[in-house]
Amino acid sequence: MPRALIVLPTGTYRAKDFVAAAEALGVELAIASEEAPPLGLQDRFVAIDCAHPEASADALADLAASTPIDAIVAADDRGVVVASLASERLGLQSNDPLAAAATRNKAMMRRALAAGEVPQPRFEVITGATTSIPFPVVVKPLSLNASRGVIRVDDEAGLGTAIERIRRILAAAGSSPSEPLLCESYVDGPEVSVEGILWDGDLEVLAVFDKPDPLVGPYFEETMFVTPSRHPAAVVEEIVNATSRAARALGLREGPIHAEFRLDRRGPVMIEMAARTIGGLCGRSLTFGLLDTPLEVLVLRHALGMRKEGLKRSHLAAGVMMIPVPRRGTLTAVEGLETAGEVGSITGIEITAPIGSTVAPPPEGDRYLGFIFARAADPVTVEGALRTAHRQLSFSISPSRADPSG
């Protein structure tokens, strides 16, 4: 029986789905994580710290000395460097660690994309409250993800205030508040994303998503992904070609990728690329083939070299809404779940924020209240169902004592 090891950083939503995927494939699973593993996996668990990737990779190599490992998969961003380093040590199929690291550092990513002549925003790394890029600009930390600390700034007066706020967010996240920041030109236009898997450098496109809600700032909370894209076929082809070019520029050759673009008069402009699947539970919106094979099964198949040709996304349109956090506070109650679940085309609702937990919208927050899933004959119906179901939900959030955005 093949054995795969999944790197599960603290706070990931993905453990349950990867466990189910392994069971479906008959794959024995081991877990590397910063916290206790799912029940039943304690005997195949190694503790790691994703903030120290070299030491974590050594720990995985030590595990492999006594428990052979056939593949290593990172479930989320924070584990991709650990997974690539450990795979390199063990001679397993993987991305080069430098390529994985470039997806985790926005400045490294921008420089690699520039060298590859991939269309992207104008950018510079800043340490003070000045920029040579014309306003509006987007300022962001180099290392955080999920829109955390990402702020649009429209004029010079607002730049210093935004930078101070980002530095408080970095400190709260356990990062250095004095680290350099990335400043980019703001790109206007609709946003799309591409889900794919690289096989020795060849891109297999799994889905192209539209993001129907405009993302204009000043903060960038994503709310909805719907596939197939409603953009013209020629535009979708441009997006796919740009994805392949970006992967080559970054040096990515193996495994899942998630790419995000803005569409302006130049065509697709790359916002970012990650060496993992779509975040949170959004992958549950995608199934493949006649048996509705989950996305995580495809990822494990790739890692184990078990390619299955012709496995296309299920023919129905599909989508997911990441339920936005309306304000900072403590979540005390959720109502309307039954009514929302009865909306036509809705296939599931999962509330992931526990009652009693502190929630916050971006730029401080990096979590959603939960996820709503839909399928229908066309993307317009999917979008409408997601919006209707969301309107049925009510979240009680009591005020926090202090607001760190202050």
Per-residue pLDDT band at 401 (split at 50, 70, 90): low
Cβ density class 159-198: b for 16+ within 10 Å, e for less: beebbebbbbbbeebebeeeeebbbbbbbebbbbbbbbbb
Cα distance between residue 86 and residue 89, in whole Å: 5
Q: Which of 37 and 174 is assigned the larger pLDDT?
A: 174
Q: What sign for the dihedral angle of Cα 388, 390, 395, 400?
A: negative
Domain with CATH 3.40.50.20 in the chain: 3-102
Mean pLDDT of the chain: 93
> What pLDDT does 144 receive?
86
Cα distance between residue 127 and residue 124, in whole Å: 10
Q: Which of 68 and 231 is assigned the larger pLDDT?
A: 231
The domain over range 316-401 is classified in CATH as 3.90.1170.50: yes
Paired strand residues for 307: none
Q: Which helix (H) or strand (E) holds 199?
A: strand 191-199
What share of the chain in percent tops pLDDT 70?
96
> What pLDDT does 147 receive?
87
Q: According to DSSP H, which parts of 304-347 are helical?
A: 337-341
- Residue keyed to tokens 């740009």: 242
> What pLDDT does 8 receive?
85
Domain with CATH 3.30.1490.20 in the chain: 122-185
What share of the chain in percent tops pLDDT 90?
80
Residues in the chain: 406
Q: What does CATH list as the number for 3-102? A: 3.40.50.20
| 272 and 243 Cβ atoms separated by less than 8 Å | no
> What pLDDT does 41 receive?
61
Q: What is the DSSP string of 293-335?
A: EEHHHHHHHHHTT---TT-PBPSSEEEEEEE---SSEEEEEEE
Per-residue pLDDT band at 355 (split at 50, 70, 90): very high
Q: Which helix (H) or strand (E) holds 55?
A: helix 53-66
Domain 122-185: which CATH class?
Answer: alpha beta
CA 375 to each of CA 228, 370, 372, 378: distance values in angstroms, whole numbers, following the listed order: 11, 17, 11, 8
Least confident of 9-23, 157-171, 255-269, 292-306: 9-23
Per-residue pLDDT band at 38 (split at 50, 70, 90): low
What digits encode the pLDDT tens for the residues 175-230?
Answer: 899 999 999 999 999 999 999 999 999 999 999 999 999 999 999 988 999 999 99
What digits encode the pLDDT tens for the residues 4-27?
Answer: 999 987 777 788 899 899 999 999
